Amino acid sequence: MIKYFLIRQPHSIPKIILWPAAVEYKPVLSGLPIGDLAKLLSNLPAFRQRQIHKWISSLAGSFDEMTNLPISLRRELKENFSLESGYVSSGQQDADGTVKLGITLNDGLVIEGVILSDMEGRKTACISTQAGCPLGCIFCKTGKLGFRRNLTSLEISDQFLKLKRKDRDISHVVVMGMGEPLLNLDELRKSLDYLMESGGINISKRRITISTSGIEKGILELAEKGPYVRLALSLTTARSELREKLMPSSRENPLPLVKKALLKYQEKTQRRITLEMVLMGGINTFPADAEAAADFAGGLDSLINLIPWNPVAGSEYEGRPLKAPSPKEIREFTSVLENLGLKVTQRYGKGLGISGACGQLGIL
């Protein structure tokens, strides 16, 4: 059974704004590291700045909840600042516990964030970095939307706060929502700095994963400047010709260069890299795909994560509708990979009932 819930929609924020540059918004306080917050609130004593930062990190939903601040200060904050960036405009909960929120941004675009639960009961926030996506992977709904814009660091980190307010047991973050994270790395880095900030949200690097389609330049920049979080590559297939058809961005980011970048990142971090393979029935589930994946994984400390394709209406490959792999295909593919010495796990399609599974996010 799917549960639906509608969250507030302030009349002061229109759904569609044709010229967002002409609209003035109050500065947002949520998602700011203490140093940036202090600059914005430089007229206040340092202890008041710290109090406000603590309230935000403790998931206060309004200035009125900041009860150790004078009423006059709360009123002043409300008049001059916004606590949040955008607002939660809709939500759904699947029977398996997956929750999806629609978040309306200040320019009227809508992005999606998801709360996932694993077999051990661990809760993970899946957040987006772009409105839409420029990469056009044929198996992904977001890729069909095209690209609208990059999200700001506040919009990225504020997604986490909104999801955390919905479920306070969230302990992990995966940057696997809408968009390609490494094409918005500067803003992503700022948002992760906030989420990892000691004295604030304080999430460990080991509990954060960035998933990329394989942007060589971005991986190299991560290796050089960090943050040194966990990294996942959406490999899908290591047969280059097929991969270019399924994931057009791989033409500018050929796998040999991507692998060199991954090796450099792993050398810096000493962290295992996840190689994600979205399996499509009759397309990339052959022994040749398993053998190519094993060859690509050679020299990497890696884990293969198999993701049976989740249905997206209208998805085609060479004129034929995409389909999920059969259980037999998955078993045989897994067997070949394991016989080649690879570590393999399978991701199960949680959130299918609310279009919240991998590759299904896509409203603007």
Complete DSSP assignment for 15-39: S--S-GGGS--PPB-TT--HHHHHH
Q: Which of 126, 137, 140, 358 is catalytic?
A: 358
Distance CA 289, CA 69 (A): 60
The tokens 């200035």 sit on which residue? 63
Q: Domain spans of the chain? A: 29-80, 108-354
**In whole angstroms, what is the distance from residue 55 CA to residue 27 CA?**
17
Instruction: With 0.85 as the threshold, say if the pTM is over it.
Output: yes
Catalytic residue among 112, 187, 197, 329: 112
Is residue 232 within 8 Å of 265, Cβ to Cβ? no
Provide the CATH topology of domain 29-80: DNA polymerase; domain 1 (1.10.150)
In a structure prediction context, what are the per-residue pLDDT tens digits for the chain, which is 364 residues long?
A: 444 444 443 333 222 223 343 345 789 999 999 999 999 999 999 999 999 999 999 999 999 999 999 999 999 999 999 999 999 999 999 999 999 999 999 999 999 999 999 878 899 999 999 999 999 999 999 999 999 999 999 999 999 999 999 999 999 999 999 999 999 999 999 999 999 999 899 999 999 999 999 999 999 999 999 999 999 999 999 999 999 999 999 999 999 999 999 999 999 999 999 999 999 999 999 999 999 999 999 999 999 999 999 999 999 999 999 999 999 999 999 999 999 999 999 988 789 999 999 999 987 6
Whether 112 is catalytic is: yes
**Could you confirm whether 224 is annotated as catalytic?**
no
Q: Could you tell me if residue 124 is left (phi over 0), alpha (psi between -120 and 50 degrees) or otherwise beta?
A: beta
Q: How far is CA 271 from the centre of its chain?
A: 19
3-state per-residue secondary structure call for 246-290:
HCHHHHCCCHHHHHHHHHHHHHHHCCCEEEEEEECCCCCCCHHHH
Look up the CATH superfamily of 108-354. Answer: Aldolase class I (3.20.20.70)
